Copies of this chain bind each other. A is one copy, B any other.
Amino acid sequence: MPVDIEGEVPRKANRGPAAGPENRRALLRAAREVFTESGLSAPFSAVAKRAGVGQGSLYRHFPDRTALAAAIFEENVAEIEVFLAPEERTLDDLFDVISDQAVVSTALIDLTVGNRHDPAVIALGARFREVVERLLARERAAGRVGAHVDAADIMLAAGMLAGELSRIDEAERAETSARARRQFRRAFAA
C-alpha cells in the first residue's frame, strides 16, 4: 500500500550509451524466449519486460515487430552459415539445425512472410539460399542427391518442416521430424 505522498519514483539508473549493445542482446534473447513460449502474438511489451529493459529502448533498437524478427532471423542464418560451412556437412545436418530452430523460426517465418518485401528480409532470404546452394552442390557431387533436386526444393522442404514442427507439441517433434526427413531423403535421393 504505497502511500506515495510525495512520489519517489525509484527508476532504474540510466547506464548510459554503454548499455546499448548489451540491451540489444538482452532483447534478442528475450524475444526468442517470449515468442517460443507465447507465440508471435505475445505482447510486444513482454519482450521488453523479459529483457529487463524499458519499452522505449525496445522501440529504439527495433522500430517494429518485423525489425525484431529480422534480427532474430539474422542470428539464425548466421548460425546456419557457420554450422554448415565445413565440407562434411550434409543435407541431414541442415534439417537438424532447422529442427532445432523450428519453434522460434516459424513465428519468424510467419512474421517475415507477412513482410516479404522488406529489404532486410529479402537479404536474409538470399543468404539462406546461398547456404542451401553450396550445400546442394556438394551433396549432388557426392551423389547423395539426385539431379532432379534444386535449391527451391530444399528450401521448400525446410520451410514445410519448420512450419509443421512449430505447430505441434514439444513431445511429438522428434518423431515428426524423423518422419518428415525420411520422406525428404527418399524424395531427394539420387
Contacts and interface: CB of A to CB of B under 8 A. Distances in A.
A71 interface: yes
Given A7-B21, A186-B187, A187-B186, A159 B153 contact: no
A113 interface: yes
A160 interface: yes
A179 B152 contact: yes
A167 B109 contact: yes
Contacts of A123: 1
Contact of A20 (B7, B156, B159, B179): B7
Interface of A: 1, 4, 6-7, 9, 11, 17, 20-21, 24, 41, 70-71, 74, 109-110, 113, 116, 120, 123, 152-153, 156-157, 159-161, 163-164, 167-169, 176, 179-180, 183-184, 186-188
A22 to B, nearest CB: 8
Chain A interface, >50% SS class: helix
Contacts of A74: 1
A156 B169 contact: no
A159 B167 CA distance: 10
A152 B157 CA distance: 17
A168 B7 CA distance: 36
Nearest to A164: B160
